[in-house]
Chain A
Amino acid sequence: MQPGALSSTLRKGAIWGFIVLELIFFSIAGEYLSLSDKAFMDYDNMLLLLKQSAPIGIIAMGMTIVIVNGNIDLSVGAIFAIAAIVLLDSMTWPIFAGLGDWVIPVAWLLALIAGTLLGALNGLIVWKTGVDAFIVTLGAMLGYRGIVFMFNGENPTSHLNWTLVDFAEAEFLGFATATWFLAAVTIAIWFLMTKTVHGRNAYAIGDNREAAVNAGIRVGPHMMINFAIIGFLAALSAVVFYSESGSVNPNDGQLYELWVITAVVLGGTKITGGAGSVIGTLGGVIAIQLLRKGLGHIGADTSTVNLVIGLILIAVLILDRQLNIKSKGALKI
């Protein structure tokens, strides 16, 4: 087997193995350490897991295509917050006063448009200026967050619309709405990346941008579209989450980019682009959420969770490097 093949096989399957390990570990540990009576692998608990995975998971799907494309987006948390504010606040705007509950889809639409436009703006800047996506979205992370604070200072923005909350809390076929959204987005992005020209081009551009340019692929607009997609998904995630919660703090969504990128990298996507899959990302999302839940189940607090997640990300990197064993006699640069 060539040195790379072991790593790519492991890369694809590993995350699921990791999830199984987690389930086993926490189920057993839970028996001894848990404060509650219920078992870890309780059916309801697992359903709740899926629902709680939705906010990060939806965005992670978008991040997958952006990273495969050779870029990155650090502003998703801020876009998430802006979309949430647009969602909740627009339901109170005087122009919509006459709509009654019909304001809900309008609010959704506005939030989604806001996210898409913000994402597209990032993409446009990357395209036209040639500034690296890292810097562009780092700046946007700051700038968009500034807009969030400018809106209402440090106060939360709230609006409760019970119809909306009822809808968000509803369950279809036993699964929460949030879970359905996650499933739909996963399938949609999976389809995009495996079955469409746009998706296959994303891999090409991330793998070998020059070859893609030489082959006539229009790289600039392509990237902009991908940023618009992740902006849309960040907004969608906010819509899904805040429809139920009804109140957003200006700091919400901070560090989301960290979780999302961690999930994507854990799921096997190469940070340099050109390789990765939505299924792997889904695995990464579930693995992280499982870790959070599991640690909580055995009595660990948020701080330990943060510590562990950070260390696991690093462990994955080390493992990845070790598996890409260079052959003997290679250049030691």
Chain B
Amino acid sequence: MATMTKQQIGSIFAKQGILIAFALFLIAFTFANPKFLSIDNTFSVVRSSAIIGIMALGVTFVVISGNLDLSVGSMMSFSTIVVLDLHDKIGPFLAIPAMFAMTLALGAFIGFLVGYMKLNSLIVTLGMLSAIHGLTLTYSGGQNMDIADKEGTWFSVFGQGTALGIPVPILMFAAVAALLGLLLGKTPFGRKVYAVGGNGTAATFSGIKRARTVFTCYILSAACVATAGLIQASRSMGSQNTVGQGLELEVLAAVILGGASLMGGSGTIFKTVIGVLILGFIQNGLLLMGLQFYVQYVVTWIIIILAVWLDIAAKRGKLLSPIA
């Protein structure tokens, strides 16, 4: 009980490090700028993080199962453009399910390639990033999409509405997080995702259908992307066809920050939410400090590397790598 060994302190830090760092960060920033944790500001941060956040929830499944998804950014552009376009063509009630179906089809294609054909997910999703980008451009004819009659439709509720005083995007983020959190943490499917990512061979030896599990993870990711696209489209009622470009990086950063290992087998929905919030608040904090918008990119870079480094270092017990 007396003194805690260095190792014990180290391991506590490693497990809860992100949370501790986040808490310290929030405190520090609030001292620097009391407006930081005001209701208004917090809502603002969470609302703008909702889109990345929902996408990150889906990607969490993919990462825990041991894979990657770099296509989510361009897939989101696709979803946004498609739903805006279809809104004016077949009305919002049909446009939304149609867009979901199309996005899920893309996700199914990726899931098939990675799950059943066992192709390398990095390359496949890199290729799909380009292919879907091209698909979006072709679909939109290179034009941006705008809803013709912005006032005359209920469609804006997703991106701009509030319910019980809370912005709808935040509610949707919370709902999806709750749903997926239950799915990942409490259902047999969730267990299988952890198994496949933790040790795919042992999972197979335990009778788990590995291909099917991986496939389903990509479907979930696509569903999340579709939801994010819906919110994005609804928020501005119009969009450039490159709206999602680069988002895959922020999403991956959030997932990594949340502590999910890119090796697979660990991570939780809750931790990803924390990762999303960390990213969001850093962005916001830096802005409130008067720093240039792009400084956050540099800060995110440093934080990702530190986060993963400390995680790896905690596991191997040494700070520096033993490679000569």
A–B proximity contact (CB within 8 A) = yes
Interface contact tally, CB-CB below 8 A: 169
Docked-complex contact B124 and A143, CB < 8 angstroms: no
Please indicate the chain B residues that have their CB under 8 angstroms from the CB of A330 in the complex.
none
Docked-complex contact A150 and B126, CB < 8 angstroms: no
* Separation of A301 and B296 alpha carbons in the complex (Å): 35
Given contacts A128-B321, A146-B296, A150-B298, A138 and B252 within 8 Å (CB-CB): yes
What is the size category of the interface that chain B forms with chain A? 35 or more
Q: Chain A binding site: helix, strand, loop or mixed by DSSP?
A: helix
Number of interface residues of A (CB under 8 A): 53
Is B118 on the interface with A (CB-CB < 8 A)? Answer: yes
Whole-angstrom distance between the Cβ of B57 and the nearest chain A Cβ: 20
Docked-complex contact B304 and A213, CB < 8 angstroms: no
CB-based closest 8 A-B pairs: A146-B297, A143-B301, A310-B131, A303-B137, A307-B134, A306-B134, A130-B321, A310-B130
Given contacts A265-B123, A317-B124, A307 and B138 within 8 Å (CB-CB): yes
Of residues 115 through 165 on chain B, the ones whose CB sits less than 8 Å from some CB of chain A are: 117-120, 122-124, 126-138, 142
Is A313 on the interface with B (CB-CB < 8 A)? Answer: yes
Is B101 on the interface with A (CB-CB < 8 A)? Answer: no
Of residues 149 through 176 on chain A, the ones whose CB sits less than 8 Å from some CB of chain B are: 149-150, 153
Docked-complex contact A146 and B298, CB < 8 angstroms: yes
The residue in chain B whose Cβ has the minimal distance to the Cβ of A125 is: B305
Interface residues in chain B, defined as those with a beta carbon under 8 Å from any beta carbon in chain A:
113, 117-120, 122-124, 126-138, 142, 200-201, 204, 245-246, 249, 252-253, 256, 262, 292-298, 300-302, 304-305, 308-309, 312-313, 316, 320-324
Please indicate the chain A residues that have their CB under 8 angstroms from the CB of B301 in the complex.
139-140, 142-144, 146
Please indicate the chain B residues that have their CB under 8 angstroms from the CB of A309 in the complex.
127, 130-131, 134
* Separation of A313 and B132 alpha carbons in the complex (Å): 13
Please indicate the chain A residues that have their CB under 8 angstroms from the CB of B296 in the complex.
146
Is A103 on the interface with B (CB-CB < 8 A)? Answer: no
* Separation of A142 and B279 alpha carbons in the complex (Å): 13
Which residue of B127, B128, B312 is within 8 Å of A262 (Cβ)? B127
The residue in chain A whose Cβ has the minimal distance to the Cβ of B250 is: A142
Whole-angstrom distance between the Cβ of A214 and the nearest chain B Cβ: 11
Given A130-B320, A139-B253, list of 20 further CB < 8 A pairs? A132-B262, A139-B300, A142-B301, A143-B298, A149-B294, A150-B292, A150-B295, A150-B298, A153-B294, A303-B136, A303-B137, A306-B133, A306-B134, A307-B131, A310-B130, A310-B134, A311-B127, A317-B120, A321-B118, A333-B204
Given contacts A262-B127, A304-B138, A150 and B305 within 8 Å (CB-CB): no
Whole-angstrom distance between the Cβ of A223 and the nearest chain B Cβ: 8
The residue in chain B whose Cβ has the minimal distance to the Cβ of A129 is: B309
The residue in chain B whose Cβ has the minimal distance to the Cβ of A209 is: B323
* A to B CB contacts below 8 Å, 19 in the list: A125-B305, A128-B320, A131-B308, A143-B302, A146-B301, A149-B297, A150-B295, A153-B292, A219-B323, A220-B321, A220-B324, A258-B130, A271-B120, A271-B123, A303-B135, A303-B136, A307-B133, A310-B133, A313-B126
